[in-house]
Structure 1
Amino acid sequence: MDLSEQKLLENDFVRLEPLRDRHRGVLRPLADEAELWALTSVRADGVHFDPWFYTMHAATRLDRQISYAVFDKLSGRYGGHTAFLSIVPEHQRVEIGWTWYGAEFRGTHVNPAAKRLMLERAFEAGAERVELKTHGRNERSQRAMEKLGAVREGVLRSQMNTWTAERRDTVYYSVLKEEWPDVRAGLDRRLTAMKP
């Protein structure tokens, strides 16, 4: 598996731009919503945005992850952030995570369109398994992963700390290479129905 090339990814709905310093200003106001960070390991609202952005940007520069600013082509505005992380080439495994969107972009075409691009990129690069995970209490995220077609695998109890010092149960999902054609078809049907 080779995800080393940080490619711009796009379809009719969104453009995923590899994270650069120029994205700091457009993502900052989207992140300034306390609800987004209520169940996360770190926060990025208010004064926490610059440290969060620096961490994402540095990890991308050092090839530890590939962060993207998500541009919504239908509205002509940036909508949020997503990333490839936990990239393990020797086991053909990668995680899609650090996904968040501003309030007006949640529940729209943006997330399924972005996931369609990222899953396609991962499997074309040789992935056998794509992982997704979320807080055990993040029901919105769990519903989105299930609607995507990912398989719920189980819960790792007390798996990590959140920024509030709460111990988090983490729910794991995955899409395997052999499942991708059905997942792709489902995403394509959803996106076709969402075309303006």
Structure 2
Amino acid sequence: MIITPQVRENAIVRLEPLTDDHREELRPLAAETELWALTSLRGDGEHFNAWFDLMLSGTKAGTQISHLIRRQEDGVAVGHSAYLTLAPEHKRLEIGWTWYGAMARGTKINPAAKRLLLGGAFEAGAERVELKTHHLNTRSQAAMTKMGATREGTLRRHLLCWTGEWRDTVFFSVLKDEWPTVKAGLDARLA
């Protein structure tokens, strides 16, 4: 599996590998405190630069590939998502750190972005793509289920969140042989 930073786009979204030039476009979107309520790290307000720098450093180190998500119709930045936990020797990666500004939630933005990210992963030779979320993030769990990902289980007390509370992490995955069905479902939703 060889996956490299590159622009990925369809009719709905454009995913751009994250650079420092994207910092000020994402900052106002990240200001919504509720976005960070169920995350392990905080990225709003005074915490934004540290979060953004962490995303950039992972990309530079080759341990992740972060993306600014831009709405195609008007070129406006609407969110962020990344390839994480890159494990080419196991043909596995994770899609995570996905979040959107209020104007993009409940639209075709997320399925369009997931279509590009999953497609890119499997085209690069992935056998498994993981997705995971906080046990209280029912909106994210519902989106993963609707997308066709398989719920695998929960790791209890998996992460200590910035709030001081423990996160049980719910794991989902899509396998290479499941991708055609998941792809068809995403394509139908985007048609």
Unaligned runs of 5+ in 2: none
The correspondence of residues 58-97 of structure 1 with structure 2, limited to 5 A, is 58-97=57-96
> What is the CA–CA distance in structure 2 between the aligned matches of 1:33 and 1:182, rounded to whole Å?
35
Paired with 2:110 and 2:46, the residues of 1 have a C-alpha distance of 26
Partner secondary structure for residue 137 of structure 1? coil
In the alignment, structure 1 segments of 5+ residues that lack a partner are none
Aligned counterpart, 1:123: 122
Aligned to 1:9: 8
Q: Which amino acid aligns with 1:70?
A: I
1:134 corresponds to 2:133: yes
What's the CA shift for 1:165?
1.1
Please report the RMSD computed on the Cα atoms of aligned residues, expressed in angstroms: 0.6
- Which residue pairs with 1:186 in the alignment? 185
SS where residue 39 of structure 2 aligns?
A: coil
Distance of 2:178 and 2:41 partners within structure 1:
32
Paired residue type of 2:45: G
What is the alpha-carbon distance in structure 2 between the residues aligned to residue 75 and residue 7 of structure 1? Answer: 21
TM-score (norm 1): 0.96
**Residue 165 of structure 1 aligns to a residue in which SS?**
coil
Cα deviation, residue 28, structure 1: 0.2
Offset of residue 76 of structure 1:
2.5
**1: CA distance, partners of 2:173 / 2:145:** 10
Deviation digits for residues 66-116 of structure 1 (CA, Å, limit 9, x no counterpart): 000000112431000000000101111000000000011011111000000
**Deviation >4 Å, runs of 4+:** none
CA distance in 1, matches of 2:25, 2:58: 19
Normalized against structure 2, the TM-score is what?
A: 0.99
| Residue 62 of structure 1: how far off its partner (Å) | 1.4
Q: After superposition, where does 1:29-108 map in structure 2 within 5 Å? A: 29-108=28-107
2:161 equivalent in structure 1 = 162
- Residue 175 of structure 1 aligns to a residue whose secondary structure is strand
Identity value in percent: 60
Deviation at 1:58, TM superposition (A): 1.1
SS of alignment partner, residue 61 of structure 1: helix
State how many pairs are aligned: 191
Q: Does 1:148 align with 2:125?
A: no
